[in-house]
Structure 1
Amino acid sequence: MADRLLIEDAKRRQEVFKNLDKYLAVIKYVVKSLDPDAEIYLFGSVAERRHILTSDIDVLVITTINPGVVLEKLWRAGIGDTFEIHVRTPDMLPLYRRHSKLVKI
């Protein structure tokens, strides 16, 4: 049973990584529909091209919209647990820039 769950998870992650551009486009569409001024960045191991299949995909959303609203809309749009979505206010962007490579989506 546990082996089957691991295999299903690996297949799902493989599908997400294979179609990453599609998923990032969905994230951008959903976030921009909530806040046209929002900024969206890829960061972490995927942005640095050092990820493996078990890596999560870190996405930074800079917005003044309530994080719960953003996360709920993304979840409903099919953005699942393969993604680690960080919803932060604009004043947090310099901190992320100092500590991470950011790739604007």
Structure 2
Amino acid sequence: MRKYYERTFQYLRRIKEAVRRFDREARVLLFGSFAKGTHRPDSDIDVLVVTKLADKLERRLEIRVRIAEDIGSCTPFEIHIVTPREYEEWYTKFIDRYVEI
């Protein structure tokens, strides 16, 4: 697990590359304690993928599988895959700081 914390942004770029194979316009955002700079050694790494393809469950699963193939399946990354509407209606209400990858 240590490698994920030491090379967080390298893995975030790999996540973005995996997502962009499905949707060139998708956004990948780091949020939570890592974005705020308040993370601890046992923190998860919150990642939000915003894509119009998330309106279909099977597409969300395909994206999740591709990410796992690229970075591994047992990681500290907590991946949220949502539509632009879900992002606007829900996530913007509680995400006060993020880093766009």
TM-score of the pair, normalised by structure 2: 0.85
Whether 1:78 and 2:66 are equivalent positions in the alignment is: no
Structure 2 counterpart of 1:69: 62
Structure 2 counterpart of 1:49: 37
The partner residue of 2:25 within 37, 41, 46 is 37
In the alignment, is the contact (CA less than 8 A) between 1:63 and 1:90 conserved in 2? yes
Whether 1:24 and 2:12 are equivalent positions in the alignment is: yes
In the alignment, is the contact (CA less than 8 A) between 2:32 and 2:45 conserved in 1? yes
Whether 1:59 and 2:52 are equivalent positions in the alignment is: no
Aligned mates of 1:50, 1:32 — CA distance in 2: 29
TM-score of the pair, normalised by structure 1: 0.82
**3-state SS of the aligned residue for 2:35?**
coil
- Percent identity between matched residues is 32
**3-state SS of the aligned residue for 1:103?**
strand
Structure 1 counterpart of 2:99: 103
Unaligned runs of 5+ in 2: 54-58
| Structure 1 segments (4+ residues) deviating >3 Å | none
The count of residues paired between Structure 1 and Structure 2 equals: 93
From the CA coordinates, give the structure whose radius of gyration is larger. Answer: 1
CA RMSD of aligned residues (A): 1.2
In the alignment, is the contact (CA less than 8 A) between 1:27 and 1:79 conserved in 2? no
Change (3 A) 1:79 1:47: farther
Aligned mates of 1:98, 1:104 — CA distance in 2: 17
Query: Per chain length, whose mean CA-contact separation is higher, i.e. which structure has more relative contact order (CA < 8 Å, sep 6+)?
Result: 2
Aligned mates of 1:38, 1:56 — CA distance in 2: 22
